[in-house]
Amino acid sequence: MGIREEHRVRMLRDIQRAALDLVEEQGLESTTMGEIAARVGVSERTVFRYYASKDQALMPGQQGLIDALVGSESAHHTPSGILEDLLAVCREQFSHEVEQRDFRRISRLMIQEPEMLRVVTRQERSLVEALSSALVHRGALESLQSLLLAEVVTASWRVAWRSFAQDEYDGVDSDPLTLFDQTVRELRQLFPST
């Protein structure tokens, strides 16, 4: 990794941590991009160069998930095969998210800060729209099938993450990746052909 990339990664991390600190201290609604910039010691314009909104600064992994899923190509041509491939991409992103981000802090905030659920819901809508559109554009599936598949993938991510968030809030020691795997197993049991 070059010096420029190291600086970028450090800046992304510093901005996210500042955003999380401020939301923990004063709540989501009261936190502004200007305060985030001041906490990091950079201009507000610099923060906007890295993140389009405080929502993205708080949970940058959501955009990474969208990019990974939309950019993934499936070797399969059946809905169930495509779903399996998308869930594998999702699992990889989930693992990366746990390793690279302040996953535990974000998870606790999701339970403590009701506005965070609205942020997550907006990001999930973006994920469903982008993934569904990409699947249709590739000619992989029809419009309704694409929308259903995008919703199932998003719901799997949501269930695993919210289960972990609840465990965190309750003080239960759990592994986010294990919860994701359990979510996918439960999905397969509900729909055996999946």
Report domain extents, the chain: 1-53, 59-190
CATH topology for 59-190 is: Tetracycline Repressor; domain 2 (1.10.357)
Phi, psi (deg, nearest 5) at residue 139: 75, 15
Q: Which numeric CATH code is attached to 1-53?
A: 1.10.10.60
DSSP-derived letter for residue 186 is H
Residues of the chain with pLDDT under 70: 100-101, 193-194
| Virtual torsion, Cα 8, 10, 13, 14, nearest 10 deg | -110
pLDDT attached to residue 41: 96
Structure tokens at 144: 């309704």
pLDDT attached to residue 148: 95
**What's the CA angle centered on 40, arms 29 and 55, to 5 degrees?**
35
Query: Considering only CA atoms, which of 160, 157, 162, 169 is closest in space to residue 108?
Result: 169
pLDDT attached to residue 89: 94
pLDDT attached to residue 101: 59
pLDDT attached to residue 140: 77
pLDDT attached to residue 100: 62
Residue 187, amino acid: L
